[in-house]
Amino acid sequence: MTRTVVHRVHVEFGDCDPAGIVWFPNFFRWVDASSRHFFRACGVPPWQETVRTHGILGTPLVETRATFHRPASYGDDLEVRSSIEAWGGKSFTMVHRIVRGETLLAEIVEKRVFARRHPDDPARIQAVPAPEDFRAKCD
Amino acid sequence: MTRTVVHRVHVEFGDCDPAGIVWFPNFFRWVDASSRHFFRACGVPPWQETVRTHGILGTPLVETRATFHRPASYGDDLEVRSSIEAWGGKSFTMVHRIVRGETLLAEIVEKRVFARRHPDDPARIQAVPAPEDFRAKCD
Amino acid sequence: MTRTVVHRVHVEFGDCDPAGIVWFPNFFRWVDASSRHFFRACGVPPWQETVRTHGILGTPLVETRATFHRPASYGDDLEVRSSIEAWGGKSFTMVHRIVRGETLLAEIVEKRVFARRHPDDPARIQAVPAPEDFRAKCD
Amino acid sequence: MTRTVVHRVHVEFGDCDPAGIVWFPNFFRWVDASSRHFFRACGVPPWQETVRTHGILGTPLVETRATFHRPASYGDDLEVRSSIEAWGGKSFTMVHRIVRGETLLAEIVEKRVFARRHPDDPARIQAVPAPEDFRAKCD
C-alpha cells in the first residue's frame, strides 16, 4: 500500500488571476510544498539537515505531467493528496491529487531525483540514489 | 511551417530557491507569459479586449507536460521559444522550448482552450471553439 | 480595545531565496492574505459577495511601511497578528506583527481603502467610505 | 548627482489579481530586481561572485516605505527608476520610482544593508560596512 499525506491549502485572493481563478503556476507551488511535507511527515529530516548529513539539498523535479479538471477560486479550501507511486534508481514518481471536498480539480504527476551539489562544480547539481534510510521511512 | 515567437527572460535572484537555482513554478510563470505574447505577436488583441469583442477571457491550461534538463540561475538570460503545434476543436497544443544560448534547459508542452464565462454560472468558465479570425492570424 | 486576528503561515522552501531566507515580497503576500482573513474573521463577507451587494471589490493598499528585524527560513511556523489601529474617512490603518514564537520578525503597517470600479471607467478603481455595517463588525 | 538606473517591466496577466490590477507584492518583486540591476549596472559583480570575493551574499532589506498612486494592469510597460539617495555606516537608502510613461504609479524607498553569513551561526546573516570599492562604483 502506498502512503498518502495530505497538505491543506486555503486559496488566497492573490493566488487568483484576472479571470478570478487560481493562476495555474500556483498549483505547482502547492504541489512542491506538498512533496516536501510528504517527506517530513514520513520522518525524513528537513533539507537544511540532510545537506549536512547526506549532502542532499532537495529533490528537484525532472519531469511533470498535470491535468486540470476544474478551476478553484479564493476562499476555497483544498487538499493536496500526495503519495509516491514508484521508485527508480535515482528517481521516484509522486502523484498529487488536488481536491475540493470530493471533487478532483487537478492531478499532477512528478518525477523527482535526490540531488547534491556536483563535486566538480558547485554551481551544478547531481542526482544520487535515494538513501536507503529515507526510502524505508516512506514505504 | 509553424510560427515561433521568442519571449526573453532575465532570471532574477528572487526566482531562485535555497539551492540557488530557478524554483520550477517560475518556469510555468514564464511559459504562461510566453503563450500570451505569442498571441499578441500574431496580432490577436489582448484578453481585456477579446472579453468584450468575443467573450473570450483567455486560454486556460487544461494539460501540461514538462521536462527539465538543466537548471538555470540568477543572472541567466533565457529564451522561451513558443509555437502552436496542433489545433483541436476547442483546444490547441503549444510547445515552449526554454534555452540558454543553444542549451535546452526545459521543454513544456501545453494543451489550452479558449474560454468564456459560463452563461449559466459566471463563477465557471467554458471552452469555446477558437475564433476563426484568431486562428488565421496564428498560422 | 482593538481586535487582533491571527493568520498562521508555514514557510515553504520555495518562499526562500538563494540566501536561504524568506524573500521579502512573500511577507507582503502573507500580510495581504492576513488583511483579508481579518475581515472574514470579523464577519465581513468575501469580496466576491461584496462586489454584488456593495460594489466593493476589495481593499487595495495605498501606503505601507515595513521593518524587518530578523529573517525566517523554511520550516518555520509564523503568526501574522493583524489589527485595525485607525479608521479614516475612506481609509483604515492595519498593523501586522509577524512573529515566530514570541520573537518579532517584522512589522508591517498598511493604509488601505475600500474600492469599487470607477463609474466612468471600469478600468480604474475608486475609493469609497467604509460601509457602516463593515466597520461595526470590525470594532 | 545621484545616478539613476532604469529597470523595464512588462506587466503580465499572472501579475494581476481578480480586480484586474497588479497585485502589490509584485511591485516589491520588481523593485528587488531593480536594486540588483542597479549594482550590476554600476559594475558591482553579481552576488554569486561577491560571496566568494567579499563574503557578501546580497543586500537584504531592513525597512521599506511605499506609496501606491495608481494601479497598473497587464500589457502595461513600466519603468522602475532606481537610485541610491543616501549611504549610512552599514546601510544605504534606495529610492525606486515606478512610472508608466510619465505617470508616477508608485514610489518605494528601501533601506538595505550589505550582508554576509554570521561567522558564529551560518543560519543567520550579519550586516557589514559597504565595501569601499562597491560604493565608489555607485557614486
Pick the residue of C12, C61, C73, C76 with the most A CBs within 10 A to test the interface with A by mutation: C12
| pLDDT tens digits for range D82-135 | 999 999 989 999 999 999 999 999 999 999 999 998 888 877 788 999 998 999
With an 8 Å Cβ cutoff, are B16 and C18 in contact? yes
Catalytic status, residue B133 = no
Residue of D nearest to B75 (CA): D46
Contact D71 C124 (CB under 8 A): yes
Closest among B129, B132, B60, B71 to B100, alpha carbons compared: B71
Q: What integer is the mean pLDDT of C12-24? A: 93
Give one DSSP letter per residue of A63-89, joined into a string: EEEEEE-S---TT-EEEEEEEEEEE-S
CB within 8 A of A84, min separation 6: which ones?
A: A2, A3, A38, A92, A93, A94, A138
With beta carbons under 8 A apart, name residues in chain C contacting D47: 18
DSSP letter at A130?
P
Look at residue C122 and tell me whether its pLDDT is greater than 80. no
**Most confident range, picked from A32-36, C58-62, D135-139:** A32-36
Q: Is the pLDDT of residue C114 over 90?
A: yes
**Residues A28, B24: C-beta atoms closer than 8 Å:** yes
Q: A-chain residues within 8 Å CB-CB of D23?
A: 14
Indicate the DSSP class of residue B15.
G
pLDDT confidence tier of residue C3, bands split at 50, 70 and 90: very high
Average pLDDT over residues B3-11: 97
Note whether D74 contacts A: Cβ–Cβ < 8 A: yes
ipTM exceeds 0.90: yes
pLDDT reported for residue A117:
87
Q: State residue A89's pLDDT score.
A: 87
The pLDDT, as a whole number, for residue B48 is: 83
Mean pLDDT of the region B15-35: 95
Do B73 and A123 make contact, defined as CB atoms within 8 angstroms? yes
> Do D68 and C63 make contact, defined as CB atoms within 8 angstroms?
yes
Residues B67 and D47: beta-carbon distance below 8 Å = no
Residue B25 pLDDT > 90: yes
B122 interfaces chain D, CB cutoff of 8 Å: no
Higher-pLDDT residue of B119 and D27 is D27
Q: What is the pLDDT of residue B100?
A: 98
Q: Which of C17, C77, C133, C139 is catalytic?
A: C17
Q: Which residue of B has its CA nearest to A117?
A: B19
Query: Which parts of chain A have pLDDT scores under 70?
Result: 1
**Which residues does chain C have within 8 Å of residue A112's beta carbon, measured at their own beta carbons?**
none
- Residue B46: band (very low, low, confident or very high) from pLDDT cuts 50, 70, 90: confident
Do C3 and C82 touch, CB atoms closer than 8 A?
Answer: no
Residue A1's pLDDT is: 57
Find chain D residues with C-beta within 8 A of C20's C-beta. 123
What pLDDT was estimated at residue D1?
A: 57
The model's pTM is: 0.94
Q: Neighbours of A (≥3 Cβ pairs closer than 8 A)?
A: B, C, D
Strands (E), chain D: 5-10, 61-68, 77-87, 91-100, 103-118, 121-128
Helix (H), strand (E) at residue C66: strand C61-68
Residues 12-51 of C with CB under 8 A from D: 18-21, 23-26, 28-29, 32, 47
| Percent of chain B's residues with pLDDT above 90 | 78
